[in-house]
Each structure stands twice: as structure tokens, then as C-alpha cells.
Amino acid sequence: MALAEEALRKQLGKYKFRDLTIEELKNVNKTYPNFTFSMNTYSNSYNIPIRLWILDSHPFAPPICFLKPTANMGISVGKHVDAHGRIYLPYLQNWSHPKSTVIGLIKEMIAKFEEELPLYSLSSSDAARQSELLSYIAKITEGETGMKSKSKIGRDKNQGCFNKITVVGAGDLGIACVLAIAAKGAADKVVLLDLSEGAAKGGTMDLEIFTLPNVEISKDFSASADSKVVVLTVNSLGNAQTYLDVVQSNVDLFRGVIPAISHYSQNTVLLVASHPVEVMTYVSWKLSAFPKSRVIGVGANLDTERFQFILTNLLKEEVLAKDAWIIGEQGEDKVPSWTSGNSVANQTEAMAACNSRDKVANRAMEVLKGKGQRSWSVGLSVADLTDSILKDKRKVHSVSTLAKGCCNINSEVFLSLPCILGTSGVIEMVKLEEDPLVREKLQSSAGSIHDLQQQLKL
């Protein structure tokens, strides 16, 4: 036994716990003397049948992936596979062209499925039941289906009176938007699309625990199908060093999001709340190829509502407030403007009225500077905008819209301007009062935004 033990010790040379293993095997040999030992290399390979659907928006949208089990295979439902064989992987959730490729996707499938096999062998008695599931999966992947019919019924319903909103991004802003929209009651259904990797955390988990009526949480872009409005709140949390890097990181993120969203909701209105809102609205417009009327940013809607409130309730200038707007770009470069002038008898009176108005506006702007852009505040503003769109209110809002042609702006940039909103997005831009200073500020903002956009890689 000494020689055999020495040989065994050499054979188990790379074992982490060699001595414990040898003791265990010695005990086995004592109890079962006829038990023999030999060394070999264990390896196992599996042929896992899959089907990848490459969408017409590829390579910007990820493939749709299914297992394609044979009649004697069962599906092991787990964190990467559902009961119908649909495959969910971090690589798919974080898909971003050109970084993401089909080859990279297949490599991740191999790695994940080695850790957790998605299929198992069925007994002969289970094989018959499996054929029903295979038939169902075939219908899903071929699109010939009861499921397709249901989808069509759903679309017909949506085209009628069913109001569905999808909020993309499950951060603080995304959750604030969901809560505000749900409280507003304008939508029949609100979908929160969580693009983060891993299990639900923070507010998303809380939404799952304390369920709200008509609110669904999903990690699958297909859950957004046939949305009337899609709200984009997602921002990249990369390790970018410069402002340009930060914006480019967001652009890269949007390159994986916008094509998939526009594929599933081809008639939706895109409402952008991601930062910087003017640039990301432009990026959404370019990547979606939607008409300019159906791509808008939240812009200065919140600041305008606050501005009008301050004028009316704090400064008691209700007449002025009706025509008062905050326009331009978000942040320090925003500017107050007016949609109509005072009708006065002569130029002297007009100048006096204008000076008086400017003084009141300056006081209101000082108060406005102390107000931050908190998530819940922006969420309330987003709910206000979606309410106007879904209910076709034809209400005027200061939102980010394509400003080319306004105030002698010749570049394709988005700035906040007063617009009438309805179910198709921007119906009409409201004419502003002529003001050389306002025009100069808008042109300056347009120039700086355009310069930034020229440095981005779309």
C-alpha cells in the first residue's frame, strides 16, 4: 500500500487538498478492497442548439436569442433562460455597436452555459410533453403564432385607446418618472425598462415588492413594444475623464438603445431626459430616423413652469406670466423670453413697459436660480409632458426641438422653444417676440452645441 500511496501522491500532485484526498481514498480502499483507482482528465463538451434572430436594426440592436432544443431535451429555467427558451445575457442587455458583436455574444453564451447548462436530457415519458413546448417555441421564433396574433390584437388596441409609456433607465430619475406618470393617471400601462446588469436593486426592487397597478418592470426591449411615448432617462456611469468623454459614453449607450426602442415602437414619441438633453435629443433623432416632431427633449419645461409660478404667485404678475418662457439650453445659458409684446400707443410707452418687464423677469430669474433639478422635480415635469402628449391637449411647453431655421440658426441643433404638443409630438412652434439679445444668446448656444456634436462619433 506504501508504494501505491506514493504513486497516488505523485498523481495527485496538483490537487489543492492532496493529503485530505489521499486519506479519503485510503478509507475507500479499506472498506472496498476491490475498488481500483486510475488518473485521467475529465472534460465534457455539449452541443447546445440555439437560434439567433438578427433584426433589421442590426448592428445597433442586439439579436433576439432562443434555445432550440430537440425532442429529448428539456429547458433548465435559470437566470439566463426563461421557460420558453428565450436567452437573456448581460452582453445582450449592454449591447453597444461597434463594441458588441455576434462573435462576442457567442463567446459569452459558451462561458455562461458552461457555468449553468440550459438544457438537460428528458426521459422517454417526458419527451412527448416536450414536443408541445417545442411547437410553441417554433411558433414564437417563426412568428406564425397565437403569440403574433395576440401581438397584433395588442397593437390594434394600442392604436385605439390603449396608452402605454415606457421609461428607459431604472436610476433615480427613471423611477421618479414612473411614480409621477403613474400618479398622473394618464397611461393605461407604464413599463420601466431596467438596463442595469444583475439582479434588481434599490428602487427597482422596491417597485417589485410594493407593486403598483399597471406598472411593469422588465429587462427586455420587447416589453416596450407599441408604446405611445418612450421616456429616456438612462445615463452612462463610465469612468470618463473629460466632458467630451462623458457625452461620448452616453452616445455609445444610446447607440444600443435607440434602434431597439424604435424597432419595437415605430410610431412612438421619444421624450429625452438624459444629459446633456440638447445633445442626447439630437443623437436620438439621428439614431431613430424619426421625424423631428416625434423626438423632443424635456428641455426647459420645468424651469418655465417654475418661472411662470414665481411671476404669478410671488411677484403677482399674472398677466406677464401667461406669455413668459424659459428657452435655449438647460443650465446657466437659459434665457427668459416672451411670446407676445405689450400693445401700447407709442414707442416711449413700449420702451417703459419693456424695461419694467425686464426688471420683473430678472427678479424672477434670481428666485429661479435657487431651484435645483432634483429627480422627483424632473419626474413631475416628464409626467406633465406625457400627459399633454397622450391626451392630445395641444398645450404649449418649452421643450427641446430642432431649432434650425429659428433665429437665423443654420445648424441641426435642439434648443428649448415653446411648442404645442399633441399625440404626434410637436404640432407647431409658437412664435417668439423679436429680441436681438435673445437671438444672440440662442445663436451662441447653438454654436457651442453644434461644435460639441461635431466631435462625437455617431
Write the pLDDT tens digit of every residue in 301-334. Answer: 999 999 899 888 888 887 777 888 999 998 788 8
DSSP state of 100: -
**pLDDT per position as a tens digit, 130-141:** 555 556 555 555
Q: Which of 419, 418, 413 is nearest to 443 (CA)?
A: 413
Average pLDDT rounded to a whole number, residues 11-28: 78
What DSSP string runs through 302-344?
HHHHHHHHIIIIIS--HHHHTTEEEEBSSSTT-EEEESS----
Q: What is the pLDDT confidence band of residue 366, given thresholds at 50, 70 and 90?
A: confident
Q: What is the pLDDT of residues 250-305, one digit of tens each?
A: 998 998 899 889 989 999 999 999 999 999 999 999 999 999 999 999 999 999 99
Closest CA to 76 of 32, 19, 115: 115
Other CB atoms within a 10 A radius of the CB of residue 398 amount to: 28
pLDDT at 150: 41
Candidates 255, 245, 219; CA nearest to 92 is: 219
Q: What is the mean pLDDT of residues 434-452?
A: 93
- Using alpha carbons only, give the angle 245, 178, 82 rounded to the nearest 5 degrees: 85
pLDDT for residue 149 = 39
Most confident of 65-79, 192-206, 337-351: 65-79
Calculate the CA 169 to chain-centre distance: 5
Burial class for 331, CB neighbours closer than 10 Å (0-12, 13-18, 19+): middle
Neighbour count for residue 271 (Cβ, 10 Å): 28
Question: How confident is the model at residue 276, as a pLDDT?
Answer: 93
Residues 423-441 have a mean pLDDT of 92
Q: How many Cβ atoms sit within 10 Å of the Cβ of residue 107? A: 12
- Look at residue 87 and give its three-state secondary structure: strand
Which domains are assigned to the chain? 38-121 (3.10.110.10), 165-291 (3.40.50.720), 300-455 (3.90.110.10)
* Residue 110 identity (one-letter amino acid): I
pLDDT higher at 433 or 44 = 433
User: What single-letter amino acid sits at 455?
Assistant: Q
CA distance 280 to 322: 30
160-194 in b/e burial notation, b at 16+ Cβ within 10 A?
Answer: eeebbbbbbbbbbbbbbbbbbbbebebbebbbbbb
Question: Which of 115, 125, 122, 91 is closest to 105 using CA atoms?
Answer: 91
Percent of the chain with pLDDT over 90: 37
CA 231, 233, 238, 240 dihedral sign is positive
Task: Give the pLDDT of residue 22.
Answer: 79
Contacts of 49 (CB under 8 A, 6+ apart): 67, 68, 69, 70
> CB under 8 Å to 338, separation ≥6 — which residues?
323, 324, 325, 357, 432, 433, 435
Q: What is the mean pLDDT of residues 92-100?
A: 81
Reported as a single tens digit per residue, the pLDDT across 119-172 is 888 765 555 555 555 565 555 555 444 434 344 444 444 444 589 999 999 999
Name which residue leads in pLDDT, 240 or 175: 175
pLDDT band at 87 (very low <50, low <70, confident <90, very high): confident
Which 8-state DSSP code applies to residue 224? G
Over residues 87-97, the mean pLDDT reads: 82
Kindly list the distances between the CA atom of residue 365 and the CA atoms of 304, 308, 310, 341, 440, in Å, as whole numbers in the listed order: 10, 10, 9, 19, 19
Could you give the CA distance from residue 392 to residue 394 in angstroms, rounded to a whole number?
6
Is the CB of residue 271 less than 8 Å from the CB of residue 180?
no
pLDDT > 60? residue 432: yes
- Which stretch of 56-60, 69-73, 216-220, 224-228 has the lowest confidence by average pLDDT? 56-60
Q: What CA–CA distance (Å, rounded) separates 26 from 9?
A: 11
The span from the CA of 309 to the CA of 328, in Å, is: 19
The residue that leads in pLDDT, 334 or 46, is 334
pLDDT score of 74: 83
Q: Taking all residues of the chain, what is their mean pLDDT, rounded to a whole number?
A: 82
Distance of alpha carbon 338 from alpha carbon 126, whole angstroms: 73
